[in-house]
Amino acid sequence: MSLQTSSAVYAGGFSNPPVASAHAFRAAMNAMARPGEVQEITGATPPEGISPAAGCLLLTLCDPETGVFLAPGADTEAVRAWLAFHTGAPIVAAEQADFVLGSWEALMPLARFRTGTPEYPDRSATLIVEVPGFGTPNAQLRGPGIKGTAEMQLPELAAFQDNAVLYPLGLDFFFTSGSQVAALPRSTQVAAEA
């Protein structure tokens, strides 16, 4: 590893970890509590190839006890080294992952990720889906945290509809683009935008 590469591993974390991680955690929880609502999440400068929002989520939610799966496109030596230095989180196979990072296409098939068990529904994966942006909504959302309905652009509808049927099992999703994050918990019902 070159000197320039090794210094990049140490850079890009939270400059004031207690404060920045508290702000990032609040943004992540607000996103999960209010499905479809876009939140700003800042403070991290991860290696090229992943958004600042995804980097913030990884720094905030991952530790040596949480396995991370990096899908193709996100799985680079720089990202692995950065994640190891800043969080200590081990890189694991898709089937063992607590957190998953990648583009929608790279995350397929979703069936390989843990959806929890009837005794432990919380033992499921949370997917961080990198998206180009939050464009024109194509989905109508209903459920906990939503007054009436909310709207959101999703990469497709069927996968999220199938996921909601599994509740209380299922996957939880964060969507990241630039310094923005939105979430779709497994409890959210998804329908085509009218």
List the beta bridge partners of residue 99: 68, 126
Q: Six-digit token pair at 95?
A: 């089937």
Written as six digits, the tokens of 46 are: 């991860």
The model's confidence at residue 8, banded by pLDDT at 50, 70 and 90, is: low
Cβ-contact 127, 111 below 8 angstroms: no
pLDDT in tens, 63-110: 999 999 999 999 999 999 999 999 999 999 999 999 999 999 999 999
* Residue 1 confidence (pLDDT) above 50: no
Instruction: Indicate the average pLDDT of the chain.
Output: 92
Q: What is the CATH number of the domain that holds 109?
A: 3.40.50.11310
- Domain count along the chain: 1
What is the bridge-based pairing of β-strands 172-177 and 39-40?
unpaired
pLDDT tier at 9 (50, 70, 90 boundaries)? low
pTM listed for this prediction = 0.93
Using the structure block, give the residue that is written with the tokens 């390989």: 112
Q: Which domain holds residue 158?
A: 3-192
* Percentage of residues in the chain having pLDDT higher than 90: 85
The predicted-structure confidence for 25-56, as pLDDT tens digits, reads as follows: 999 999 999 999 999 999 999 999 899 999 99
